[in-house]
């Protein structure tokens, strides 16, 4: 029995998901100011990251909140859970750059969350002091 437990622990530690544990410095607050302001809050939660993202401009506003998972060494992906049958899944990729002092955002099919006049794409810089 003890041997089986050690074997399962070994498998868990050697799995590809263990290699994608949340790297240090990915949590924090990132912002873009100007006509299309955007705020991104990323908080480690033990299973990945809790992500709260908002965008606003004179023409639109939007927000998405959800669970982000580490998909690469410097990348986290947030995917929405459809609220109704037939809704397209929104996907936002957060690519950390400049030593985690900035993040490049790329969205796919997220219009439901912000309308047609703005988006979650762009370059945001860290605004908390880390």
Residue-range domain boundaries for the chain: 22-126
Full-model pTM: 0.76
- Chain segment 84-120, per-residue pLDDT in tens: 667 788 999 999 999 999 999 999 999 888 888 889 9
What is the model's pLDDT at position 4? 38
19 pLDDT above the threshold of 60 = no
Q: Which CATH architecture has domain 22-126?
A: Beta Barrel (2.40)
Q: Which residues contact 56 (CB under 8 A, 6 or more apart)?
A: 36, 37, 38, 62, 118
């Amino acid at each position: 029995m003890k041997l089986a437990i050690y074997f399962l622990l070994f498998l868990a530690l050697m799995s590809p998901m263990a290699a994608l544990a949340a790297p240090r410095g990915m949590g924090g607050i990132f912002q873009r100011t100007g006509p299309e302001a955007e705020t991104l809050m990323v908080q480690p939660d033990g299973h990945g990251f809790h992500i709260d993202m908002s965008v606003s401009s004179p023409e639109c506003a939007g927000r998405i909140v959800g669970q982000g998972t580490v998909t690469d060494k410097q990348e986290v992906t947030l995917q929405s859970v459809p609220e109704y049958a037939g809704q397209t899944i929104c996907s936002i990729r957060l690519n950390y750059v400049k030593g985690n002092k900035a993040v490049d955002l790329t969205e796919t099919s997220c219009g439901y969350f912000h309308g047609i006049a703005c988006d979650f794409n762009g370059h945001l810089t860290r605004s908390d002091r880390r």
